[in-house]
Amino acid sequence: MAEMTAEEAAEWGKTLDFPTVWTALLKLGEKVDKTTENINKLGERVDKMAEKVDWVTSNVGGLNLSMGELVETLFAPRLGEKFDAYHYKLRRTFKRLPLYDDTSRLRGEIDILLSNTTVCMAIEIKRWLDKTGQVDEHIKRMQLIRQYPPAEAKGKTLLGALAAAVVDPDVRDYAEESGFFVLELTGEDVRLLEPAKGFKPKEW
């Protein structure tokens, strides 16, 4: 829109009277009020959405943690007895055992460590064992345990196992090929899955 000259503005002003101006202001005020109302509603929606995101994040995070703890709690009792057929007699159980290097830096954690006087077994607990990468991670963990053994593992034969509520058959095969025992939660108990013929647990 081109800028009006003083003369043009004066002529235009002559066409305006109070009722016309007042009506225009009222309409403008209604538009401003409606716009403000819409902005407020949008703000309320954003606030509610943010609240929902916060609620979901906090609750899902809590659920993940409680599920992990629940699975470990379900697996831990009498877990050592599952290996009696191999004559290991693993009767000592340690949960959430930290791994520190020579500089006292935390390098990892063992979910469950079973032991006797000569053998120990590091068990990684998963809700779902469905990725070969989970097995690879436990291989790295076993190497760390051998490199920086906690007091309960020093000087002992080190074995490994993976346990889960749901075990993918292909991942189970990969775990056993890597020398790990595999356990599965069934109802209220845990069972050691029968390894394939010729299976030999790896000593780390």
- The whole-number pLDDT of residue 95 equals 87
CB 119 within 8 A of CB 156: yes
* Residue burial 53-79, b: 16+ Cβ < 10 Å; e: rest: eeeeeeeeeeeeeeeeeebbebbbeeb
CA nearest to 125, candidates 170, 181, 165: 165
CB atoms within 10 A of CB 83: 20
One-letter amino acid at 99 equals L
pLDDT at residue 60 in the model:
47
Per-domain residue ranges of the chain = 1-74, 76-192
What's residue 84's pLDDT?
A: 87
CATH entry 3.40.50.2000 includes domain 76-192: no
Q: Which residues contact 88 (CB under 8 A, 6 or more apart)?
A: 80, 114, 116, 119, 121, 159
Print pLDDT tens along the chain (204 aa).
455 565 665 565 556 555 665 566 566 667 666 766 766 665 565 455 445 444 444 444 454 445 556 666 767 777 888 888 888 889 888 888 899 988 889 988 998 899 999 999 999 988 889 999 999 999 999 999 999 999 999 999 999 999 988 899 999 999 999 999 999 887 667 888 888 888 889 998
Q: Which of 147, 80, 158 is nearest to 119 (CA)?
A: 158
Q: How far apart are CA 190 and CA 183, in angstroms?
A: 7
Strand order from edge to edge, sheet including 92-100: 92-100, 106-115, 119-129, 157-167, 181-186, 189-192
In contact, 170 and 133? CB cutoff 8 Å: no
CA 103 to chain CA mean position, Å: 28
What's the pLDDT score for residue 32? 63
From the list 126, 123, 182, 130, the residue with the least C-alpha distance to 158 is 123
DSSP 118-160: SEEEEEEEEEEE--HHHHHHHHHHHHHHHHS--GGGTTSEEEE
**Residue 195 contacts residue 181 (beta carbons within 8 Å):** yes
pLDDT at 198: 83
Residue 14, φ and ψ in degrees, nearest 5:
-65, -25
